[in-house]
Structure 1
Amino acid sequence: MVNEKLKGKTVVITGASGGLGEQIAFTAARNGANVVLLARNHDKLCDLKQRIDAAFSVKCMVERLDVSNTEEIPKVFQKIQRDFGPIDVLVNNAGYGIFDEAHEATLEDIQGMFNVNVIGLIACTKEVLPFMREKKSGHIINIASQAGKLATPKSSAYAATKHAVIGFSNSLRMELAPFHVFVTTVNPGPIATQFFDIADKSGTYIKNIERYMLDPEKLAEIIVQSMFTKRREINLPRWMNAGSILYTLFPMIVEKVGGKAFYKK
């Protein structure tokens, strides 16, 4: 299936050097979009650009960007719009997590997660808002997490960042509705990417949930197909999202019943 609305549009993806971001970039290009790849690892971005250039007749641009460096974000986005043109879709994919109990988590790690997952995401979004509002068109896709809906032990700080992303997105969606700019949050469960190289140093969590992990290529296809639609949220896998709905309705019961299972990190 091809998303015809993407042909000739410009899609900017943060955290595009690997994992889900890489798959979103490749899939968007396959659907005819021009893509701008942003991440800290410039070499990996260049490798992805070579593969996109070889496979598709679209424009592809790479820029090194650490979204936690908020001073650099305006410069990079100004360059994109100067050299590449208006941004039609922004995918805020950059993010990471570290699984520790609250008493063990360092303030440095907590601040780092908030700087990337929340402040960096908001800073990138602010760079595209004036143009999208002016032309009354655009789509902002924020990669959040099921952790933002159903917090579990050993992820208090990470879950807090994803709660913040969902809250920011929900408010932003209402602000942008009069301007016909879409806002979608993507709330995935565990994805088979290098995310857990940092988040789960012991490897215990991966062993427990490996068979339930989402395929990043399939998830990227769903995300790209949602571009320029009014889809409010993408919640996967369905069984995990059902758990988050139950938690909203019956929090005390879910916490009591799921207590031991939640500790499998």
Structure 2
Amino acid sequence: MTNALFDLSNKTIIVTGATGHLGVAMCEGLASMGANIAVASRDLNKVNNLVQKLSEKYGGNHQGYQLDISDAESVKKAISEIIKTYKIVDVLINNANFYSMGEVEEYSDDEWVKGIDGTINAVHRCTKAVLPHMLENGQGNIINIGSMYGVVSPNPEVYGSSGQNNPANYGAGKAAIIQFTKYLACHYGTRGIRANSVSPGPFPNPKVQENDEFIKQLSRKTALGRIGQADELKGILVMLASDASSYITGQNICVDGGWTAW
């Protein structure tokens, strides 16, 4: 019974930003439960390498697609190819993002908009491309990747002089993603669509983890006293993609070691 609840066999799942630090872990977790992954990212070499890795390790029908979330035509083309290949898309995971660093008082309009474009606008582009297909089939599952900084502000004391401070346009865009998720859930739920967001906490990439002092600062802010490891996102993604979450929609789930609890 337990295995059946979390079984993803024969489900087609699109993962954008699939070759990034968190994206790879997501793909592996989903593939390990039987899902067929449409691996989507800008770098086709990395995409193909990940497809090969997933296929060799987990079996299944994994395919790679070049997708640039900043380009509406690229998104439409990739989604069209995915639907043509798999016939049906069960789950869309909007994971890819980009933003620009800067201070609020120093941003140019273009720099500010870049961060909004790389978060909420990108999620809208991908969702808009897939949603009609899901509505036509009367079922679909959208999982948007938000952030703890879509819920709370970065604490300047944590970042100090590390140079790692999180920019305002990133958090603003991630907060918008969380609201957009709720909108999708409420407006399309009766038509077979579920939508939830996952908000990761401190999951710094390997390069950032080289800064020992900064990692200590991040760790002190969590209730668990440590940063997150990419593999710790596998469970929540499998749960939300599977029938184990069939009555969960419109929710934002923080996977943050307790960061937002205080």
Shift of 1:53: 1.1
Instruction: Give the 3-state SS of the residue equivalent to 2:117 in structure 1.
Output: helix
SS of 2:141's equivalent in the other structure is: strand
Q: 1:215 aligns with which of 225, 229, 248?
A: 229
Give the alignment partner of residue 185 of structure 1, picking from 164, 172, 197. Answer: 197
Q: 2:150 is matched by which residue type in structure 1?
A: G
Which has the higher mean CA deviation after the structures are superposed, 64-73 or 144-153? 144-153
**Residues of 2 paired with 1:104 and 1:59: CA distance?**
47
Name stretches of at least 5 consecutive residues in structure 2 with no aligned partner.
Answer: 157-165, 220-224
Deviations 1:203-247 (A, max 9, x none): 97545215632111111222112214133232122522323xxxx
2:13 maps to what in 1?
11
Distance 1:166 1:225 in 2: 18
Residues 127 and 93 from structure 1, CA distance in 2 versus in 1: closer, same or farther, beyond 3 angstroms? Answer: same
Residue of structure 2 in register with 1:113 after alignment: 115
| C-alpha spacing 1:34/1:76, structure 2 compared with 1 (3 Å) | same
Q: Distance in 1 between the 2:208 and 2:134 partners?
A: 34
Q: Which moved more, 1:59-68 or 1:113-122?
A: 113-122
How far residue 151 of structure 1 moved from its aligned partner, in angstroms, is 2.0
Distance in 2 of aligned mates of 1:77 and 1:237: 31
1:94 and 2:96 are equivalent in the alignment: yes
Partner of 1:141: 143
Change (3 A) 1:204 1:169: farther
Distance in 2 (alpha carbons) for counterparts of 1:174 and 1:96: 27
SS of the residue 2:258 aligns to: helix
Q: What residue number does 1:254 align with? A: none
Q: Tell me, what secondary structure is at the counterpart of 1:208?
A: helix
Deviates more, 1:130-139 or 1:228-237: 228-237
Deviates more, 1:103-112 or 1:56-65: 103-112
Over 3 Å counting, the alpha-carbon distance change for 1:77 and 1:122 in structure 2 is: same
Percent identical: 27
Mapping of 1:47-58 within 5 angstroms?
47-58=49-60
Q: Distance in 1 between matches of 2:150 and 2:133?
A: 29
Query: What displacement does 1:67 show?
Result: 0.3
Asked if the contact 2:11/2:90 (under 8 Å) is kept, the reply is yes
Quote the offset at 1:36 in angstroms: 0.4
Offset of residue 155 of structure 1: 2.9
Secondary structure, aligned partner of 1:17: coil
Q: Which amino acid aligns with 1:151?
A: S
Letter paired with 1:219: L
Q: Give runs of aligned pairs for residues 68-83 of structure 1, distance below 5 A.
A: 68-83=70-85
Distance 1:113 1:21 in 2: 19
- Paired position in structure 2 for 1:260: none
TM-score norm. by structure 1 comes to 0.82
Residue equivalent to 2:255:
236
Question: Residues 133-183 of structure 1: CA distance to partner in whole angstroms, max 9, x if unpaired?
Answer: 222221100000111111235532111101111111111110111022111
One-letter identity of the residue aligned with 1:74: K
Gaps of 5+ in 1: 244-265
* Counterpart residue identity of residue 225, structure 1: M
Question: What's the CA shift for 1:5?
Answer: 4.1
| Residue 41 in structure 1 maps to residue 50 in structure 2 | no
CA contact (8 A) 1:93 1:142 kept: yes
The answer to whether the 8 A contact 1:11-1:34 is kept is: yes
Query: Does the 8 A contact of 1:97 with 1:195 survive in 2?
Result: no
